[in-house]
Amino acid sequence: MTTHSPRTALVTRRTGETDITISLNLDGQGRASVTTGIGFFDHMLDALARHGGLDLGIEVKGDLHIDDHHTIEDVGIALGEAIYKAIGDKKGIERFGQALVPLDEALCEAVIDISGRPFLSWDISFSREMIGSMATEMIEEFFRALVMSARITVHLTEKSGKNAHHMAESTFKAFARALRMAVAHDPRSANIIPSTKGVL
């Protein structure tokens, strides 16, 4: 039985628009400490940590006097970078993950390939523009930024839903569960990179 040390990353990203610090443990216990200044976004990142089995610290000072755009997009970039760093050499990971997660009437699906190929397929629409102080259009921007810097392929698809809060939450939870599955260690291929090319 192989034991693994926890896969962690620390990312800081400072621009004229945002100042972000992220600590991530992919092999954590779902503990989150998140302060982005956007309440609903914090709620979603908290759900991501909890259901992804991640220990996640996110501290952001963003230009929220303008709007929520830079803060959400830049957290996506920095969190994607943290995921990329924490996954490391990809030896022995499952690589693929998928989840369908309901929240009452809402049902969203996430499918992930830790592929080295950044791609987001997005097919989710929201019934209103805002959830609290977060624009619903920014949820797609968050995931696009994340997949680009994590260099992963992600398909997010709405199966059903009506309430925007439920839809967003089932999307984040499905992504969390799919990520947890994809980065999990496959005991049958402990030292193997799961690609016929030998690289990912």
The site for Mn ion (CB under 5 A) is made up of 169
User: Cβ distance 42 to 71 under 8 Å?
Assistant: no
Closest distance of CB 43 from Mn ion, Å: 6
Give the Cα separation of 106 and 125 in Å (integer): 12
Give the Cα separation of 164 and 183 in Å (integer): 29
Closest distance of CB 15 from Mn ion, Å: 30
CB within 8 Å of 8: residues ≥ 6 apart: 23, 24, 25, 26, 86
C-beta of 84 vs 143, nearer to Mn ion: 143
C-beta of 15 vs 133, nearer to Mn ion: 133
Closest distance of CB 190 from Mn ion, Å: 38
DSSP 37: S
The residue with its CB nearest to Mn ion is 169
C-beta of 74 vs 169, nearer to Mn ion: 169
C-beta of 13 vs 43, nearer to Mn ion: 43
Closest distance of CB 176 from Mn ion, Å: 14
Structure tokens at 26: 């992919």
